[in-house]
Amino acid sequence: MSLPDLPKAVDWLDVREVGNEVVVHDRHTEKIHVLNATAGRVLGTCDGGHSLDEIALEIARGVEVEPARVRDDVEQIVATFVQLGLIEPA
C-alpha cells in the first residue's frame, strides 16, 4: 500500500480526548474508533502539512527517543488509518 507523502485526516471526523485515549467518530461510516495516546497524536499531526518523517520526529520528541525508533510504528499507524478511511489515500 502506498502511503500519502503528507498524510491528512479526512474532514468528517469528530475527535475527542477521553482520559489517556482519543475517541474518533467517523461521521461517514458512523463508526467509533478508540485510539491510544500515541495513535491519537499521530492522527492529530496528520494535517496535510507534515511528512511521515516529521510526524515520527514529533512523536519521538514526546517519548524522548530517536525518530528512527518510531518511524516504522508511525508508518503502520498511518497505514491503518488509510485502511479505516481516517486518512486521505495517496
Residue 5 lies in a domain: no
Give domain status of residue 63, yes or no.
Answer: yes
Residue 64 counted as domain residue: yes
pLDDT at 89: 81
pLDDT at residue 62, as a whole number:
83
- List CB contacts of 32: < 8 A, sequence separation 6 or more: 23, 24, 25, 26
Closest CA to 43 of 63, 17, 69: 17
Structural domain for 66, as ranges: 13-84
**Is 53 within a domain?**
yes
Q: Cell for 78? A: 498511518
Average pLDDT over residues 73-85: 96
Which residue carries 511528512 as its cell? 51
Q: How many domains does the chain have?
A: 1
The pLDDT tens digits for 16-70 are 999 999 999 999 999 999 999 999 999 999 999 999 999 999 999 988 889 899 9
- Distance between CA 64 and CA 50 in Å, rounded? 19
> Is residue 1 scored above 80 in pLDDT?
no
Specify the 3-state DSSP secondary structure of 19: coil
Q: Is the pLDDT of residue 82 over 90?
A: yes
> The domain that contains 44 carries what CATH number?
1.10.10
